């Protein structure tokens, strides 16, 4: 009798728990089902043969065509002028151990240390130059791997285990794990990922070419100090660093300790960052953020 009651009770329960039980939006179930489907289908797709019979040449031609398309999208790198490179080197030197900086200061007591030079630079300057360096490094990694894959397909070099894995990722339009580890967080497939990388690099190049956010504080610089009207926060490699730079800029402008500052976000009634005509008096405008199942 007890077993019968338990079965009757279990039969009236929902097959899937309502996301509201866990305090989630109803779309949370959709995301969960998509993830389960992806986990189920990915192993099945990976077991599919890349070629059937004598059509291996066709598959190789397809991969080379995709590789050529990806290479064409990443032709341009982010160009840094001599002043920018000088700031970048100073910032990278400043990230080393304090003892090294102290030793340099003792050897050259009359010369300003690299840390003193960097502290006079606007926080956005250091941030944007480090962003450019990260994107250029990622682009170089992608280009080197794709060019090596082309050579392996043509028989010029040995098809190693790494190149074979890269080959399969291109066939199934997946971002190789080695690129993911050197990249920003993303869920895009390979083609969309490369297109997105190109857009991000174009944004950084545009920022640098216009000279916005560069230069020394309190000094007129050929690089300029006019800020952007709105910043593509979602397109940055390290957005946390940008938010820190915003706090540092406010701290220096008002002579306040940066540890005492916090960020406050206000949602604007502007649909696109391109529609922003003028930046705020304090802080910055950002765009490119998405909220799934949320409202205010």
Distance separating the N- and C-terminal Cα atoms of the chain: 51
Structure tokens at 193: 């990922």
Three-state secondary-structure class, residue 10? helix
Alpha helix segments (H runs only) across the chain: 2-11, 27-46, 56-73, 82-94, 98-107, 114-119, 123-153, 161-171, 177-181, 190-210, 239-254
What pLDDT, in 10s, does the model give residues 113-126? 444 444 567 788 88
- The contacts of residue 278 (CB under 8 Å, 6+ apart) are 229
Closest CA to 68 of 140, 150, 148, 179: 150
Average pLDDT, the chain: 78
pLDDT for 49: 64
Q: Write down the pTM of the prediction.
A: 0.73
Alpha helix segments (H runs only) across 74-173: 82-94, 98-107, 114-119, 123-153, 161-171
Poorest-pLDDT segment among 38-52, 229-243, 273-287: 38-52
Closest CA to 123 of 215, 238, 240: 215
pLDDT for 90: 56
The stretch 237-251 carries a mean pLDDT of 93
Is the pLDDT at 177 greater than 70? The verdict is yes
Is the pLDDT at 149 greater than 70? The verdict is yes
The model's confidence at residue 226, banded by pLDDT at 50, 70 and 90, is low
The stretch 181-198 carries a mean pLDDT of 93
What pLDDT, in 10s, does the model give residues 155-170? 999 999 999 999 999 9
Structure tokens at 171: 């066939």
Quote the DSSP letter at residue 232. Answer: E
pLDDT > 70 in the chain, percent: 74
Angle between helices 82-94 and 123-153 (to 10 degrees): 100
What gap in Å lies between CA 10 and CA 42, rounded to an integer? Answer: 32
């Amino acid at each position: 009798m007890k077993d019968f009651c338990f079965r009757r009770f279990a039969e009236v329960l929902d097959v899937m728990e309502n996301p509201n039980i866990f305090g989630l939006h109803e779309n949370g179930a959709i995301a969960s089902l998509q993830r389960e489907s992806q986990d189920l289908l990915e192993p099945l797709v990976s077991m599919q043969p890349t070629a059937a019979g004598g059509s291996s040449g066709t598959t190789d031609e397809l991969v080379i065509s995709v590789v050529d398309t990806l290479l064409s999208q990443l032709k341009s790198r982010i160009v840094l002028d001599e002043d920018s490179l000088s700031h970048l080197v100073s910032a990278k030197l400043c990230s080393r151990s304090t003892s090294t900086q102290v030793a340099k200061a003792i050897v050259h007591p009359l010369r300003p240390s690299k840390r003193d030079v960097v502290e006079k630079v606007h926080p956005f300057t250091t941030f944007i130059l480090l962003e450019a360096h990260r994107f250029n490094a990622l682009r170089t990694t992608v280009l080197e791997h794709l060019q090596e894959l082309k050579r392996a397909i043509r028989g010029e070099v040995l098809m190693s285990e790494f190149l074979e894995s890269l080959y399969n990722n291109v066939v199934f339009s997946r971002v190789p794990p080695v690129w993911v580890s050197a990249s920003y967080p993303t869920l895009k497939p390979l083609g969309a990922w490369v297109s997105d990388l190109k857009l991000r690099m174009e944004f950084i190049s545009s920022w640098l070419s216009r000279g916005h956010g560069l230069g020394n504080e309190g000094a007129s610089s050929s690089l300029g100090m006019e800020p952007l009207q709105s910043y593509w926060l979602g397109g940055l490699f390290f957005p946390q660093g940008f938010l820190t730079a915003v706090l540092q800029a406010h701290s220096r402008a008002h002579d306040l300790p940066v540890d005492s500052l916090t960020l406050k976000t206000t949602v604007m009634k502007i649909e696109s960052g391109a529609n922003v005509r003028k930046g705020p008096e304090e802080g910055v405008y950002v765009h490119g953020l998405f909220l799934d199942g949320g409202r205010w």
